[in-house]
Structure 1
Amino acid sequence: MMTMQQGDPALRPDDDGGPSVPGGAERGFFGKIGDRFAPPRGGQSLPLAAHDALLLLRNHEDSGQGWFWSTDADGRIAYLSEAVADQLGRPLGTLIGQAFTTLFLPADSAAERQRSLPFLLTRQSKFDGLALRAAQGEECWWAVSGRPQFEAGGRFTGYRGSGIDVTVQRRSAEDASRLALYDSLTGLANRFNISRRLDTTLTTFAPQQRSCAIMLIDLDRFKQVNDTLGHPAGDALLRQVAERLLKIVGDKEMVSRLGGDEFQVILADQDDRGKLGDMASDIIASLSQPYSVEGSRCIIGASVGVAIAPFDGMTSEDLVRNADLALYAAKGNGRGRFRFYSSDLHQSAEDRRALEEDLRDALVRGEMELTYQPVVRARSNTVSGVEALVRWNHPERGTISPALFIPIAEEANLIWTLGEWVLRKACEDAARWPGDLRLAVNVSPIQFANPDLPRVIAHALAATGLAPERLELEITESVFLGDSAETAAMFTALKGIGVRLALDDFGTGYSSLGYLQSAPFDKIKIDQSFVRGATQKGSRNAAIIAAIVALAEALEMETTAEGIESLDQLDLIRKLNVSHVQGYVYSKSVANDELIGHAEAGSWTIAPAGPAKQRNDRFQMFRKIGAVHGNHRYTVVMRNLSATGAFIEGMVDVPVGTRFVIDFGEGQLATAIVRRSKKHQQGVEFEQSLVADGNGGLCTRHRVSPYLIAAASQQTGGLSLPTFTTTSDWAEN
């Protein structure tokens, strides 16, 4: 075997006392470690294989595929490949003698596995492929391996090891993990991630009966964006939706995109339905504001379903299912709404499916009819026109509100057929009216998007002989979904027929001054949400209405205020120069025969009538509830309900000032004080006002867990409140 002698110039000592590799390379791996292949004592030769090993290791080092390191017994760096120093951006000389652990991020700021490095070095344990992140420079991860070294006598002398750059693999793994847990389009948590998070939250909260609310959010009219502007625009819109949701919710980890246009929000330790309702309203309002996507202006909406654990479900499956039922109900009641879950929604869902089947045959069976609500000149109290309102006279359920069946018609693709019937029937009725009353007919966005609409309108006018200028089409702002050429062409076609156009529900969240300059509207209808709060102290609604009126006058448009019910509202509307009024303060909708009778009498004038001042909405009902006093529970009948109080029957001669707990069911308890009492009737005032349930009704702000109610009943025999010395037997015989 060929040998190399110690005196061979190819293997001369370097300045550090260790052997150098051939060619004068002075940074070789073993040139610094210096003992594994050092010539044996007594001048024996170094095998050629050892020289080849030095070259191979140096080539591996220079290739960048790996690096080497060694430490002394105290863990200080004795040797380190130059590539590592370059990666850290530090001279190699400054690293020699430093603790090996300083090359990596501290344990408290790195991954869990990284924290084991100091422990392994202290225990003098071997390790392989330990993932560590570089302490300096650009983000870099290394898989580091090491072996402890011992002398013949067993004394520990340090570590020798190697490392490889695994940054690319690490990033790929993180990307794969991110894709598994996060939505690639919006960056929000995905369905799997949020489901796991909800499971964990509910499991953690269950022992203490802590509350957790979830919201399911579904975008309204999103499909029209995809169909009109294409899927890339739809994707861009979804990213903007995610950004708006995050601004409201705040916690990114609790907001998810379930897929398509569905989103979910988890709200831990939240059961206040007042706050939840406010947040749901904020979400709906924010997501309904116009978007700018690829140079086009888009308008969508949102509906929200809310369920709260433990009241609405203890498991994630139950909670999500019930929130979905609430969302379904919100969409079914007109969209752009929120709805809390309640147990009756299961039956409502079944009823809705049955109504959809019945609706398909309702027109054929002649179950639809039109009524007409007067639109009155505010100054003179004279009727200038009417709005056609469709009613469904169901053979078994009686009269069904359009607020219930119109959304069903839209989802079941029946709205075009129904809308065509309404238009034709209304024109037929109006053509027979004495005088020149205007006829207002609502046109849904689905109808507006149909190119056949102008033809249908022209045919209805021609068939009935109604003058085009007497027909007024009420169109909502949602028709400006994409500001497309088709929208402008539709307006041109409709005005070409000669009909009037009214912008309906102005101010509900889609408003833009831009389209008022180009769209040929003749009237702006101010949404009733502005009117109902306008007379309340501190409200800014009056200023908003005044601005709308000024805008309309500048554009030579009329204005109509909807939903006027009290005399103080009417006085305000008149002071603000609104030109027309529509609402119960003048008249509910009337049948066609009654309308003809008024029109034949000549000028139709209606004297306003109603409550002097706006008051909280009162809901008429006949519903059995519980009234709890001390350890006694009485069954009473609730005749009406408002946010601040109720009118009940069922107890006799209850003293004014008596306090009760009103039990509405499903954990809804409200403390109330008797303010008026006459024989078997009492008017009670709630200590804490009820809140909107998202469905036009009311509910308590909080609910009491059934477990707490059961526990209280076992301890006291009922819910306990302070008793009064005047208490008598109030139960009515």
Structure 2
Amino acid sequence: MSFAGDLRTLLVRAVVGGSLAGFVLRAVVAAALLPVAAAIAAPPGSAAAAAAGAGAVGAVAAGTAAWVGVRWAFRDVRRQLALAQQGEPGPGAGAVFAEVQDAGRAVRALAEAYRNSADALVYQAYHDPLTGLPNRAHFLATLRQTLREAGADEQVAVLFFDLDRFKLINDTLGHAVGDRLLVALSQRLQRLAAPHRLLARLAGDEFVLLIRSARAEAEAIDCARSIVAACARPYAIDGHDLFASASVGIAVGVPGRDTAHDLLRRADIALYRAKEAGRARFALFAPEWEEPSEERLSLEAGLRRAIARGQLRLAYQPVYRLADGALAGFEALLRWHHPHRGVLTPGQFLELAEETGEMPKIGRWVLDEAARFAAGLRRLGFGTTDPPPTVFVNLSASEFSQPELASTVQAALRRAEASPALLGIEITETVLMRDVSAAARNLARLREEGVRVAIDDFGTGYSSLAYLELLPVDGLKIDASFVGALGRSERAEAIVQSVVQLAAGLGLSVTAEGIETGEQAAYLRELGCGFGQGHYFAPPMERERLLRELKRRTLRRAG
């Protein structure tokens, strides 16, 4: 009975035989279905279809052998158990276990067939059946991974190329010749292969090459030249000498910023530009080629009509003298009341205005409105102080670079019948430093007209300390980011204190932007800062609301 006991321990008696056989039968079905699915998915008659079909046959054969072997082996095991329990002699344990070993080998063969069939299906999913190259799914997955993993010192480039006359060849000589041409092309391009590159076929005659390296852009240009040269040679196919040049589009992406979709789309745009330029050449994507989105086109169309439709308006934020709280002026802030998007700030549309050439027209409108507002205030009795409150207007880089700037400002003042002392110009430090000599000339002309000039966001742009003596300006404005950090950052406090002292030494006024609390206002007043603006005093307001607030404040101060 020791033999029977050993068998019970090893095989958990007869139940095991049935369970294992059932498992093997299910595995046979699964192993056969995988390559069958691959065979169905593959194009008819292709090498992939044939390979998948062969895999299905092999898996079924191996599985059948494994299932039969297991069933026979464990049937003998159960028979020997029964004989041992009855005390009858049977073959030795060695013979029984030899059968079990045979069954094990059959199961291992089944496992290998199952793995091969799964590998075949995965290969089919990620490779082009005609050329054997990676397909679109493989390429996009690799491109996404590359953009995630590439280091800060690496570039990622995509070359998108196709054959210039492929449709003509397909339509004239048939798809079979066209397919053989694509296979020949893929073979020619194999020399572009490298560990840091991936060549793939997207669809039809469209191919892509992915490059990841520290000099991907230069490498991409070299590869593009090689592709154009390789395709310029004739192809001998079925007795035909075929000529099919290639056009190539190149896009270089920034890892961590650009997406796979962005990079492929830009390469496609560059490909179109190469074809537009005469075919059989390459083009490197330029940002200005980006096709405008529907949203951008809609915004651009709306911006062109915004002035005529009365959608552009100015909001005015009061500026107060910190020493006594007297009204000193206003900053005019442009707003676009878009019918669908709500109120848009300059940062949301001024760049578009620059690109579309609308900025000069918008700039003239702003100057006219601000000048009319300033003149109206004086007539209403709010501008009778000496000096009168000044309305400051922000100028863009393109506006400030216009040689006729002073004439444009003078014309706005003349139309509004306003004194030059009522209008001021703000220009950022960065814009001023682009061309100091030209800036000095424009500023001097404005000063000659009696228009005040202030440097906006002082301290956030280039270091212009050495040029302040050369630039004819009246004041500096401390950026709100420094004011907001008062009481929390020693560095911000040191910068604010330095600007106030610098302005005092040069005889310039200084205005602090973004004052939100009484503590900030008190600190700035103690430093000697002359003027301030921010929500602590009043938010930006359009004309009617502002006039009501000014009347209330005047009555309050009088009482």
Quickly name the TM-score band, shorter chain normalised: 0.3 to 0.5
| Larger relative contact order, structure 1 or 2 (CA cutoff 8 Å, min sep 6) | 2
Q: Select the structure that is richer in strand.
A: 1
TM-score (norm 1): 0.37
Q: Select the structure that is richer in helix.
A: 2
TM-score (norm 2): 0.48
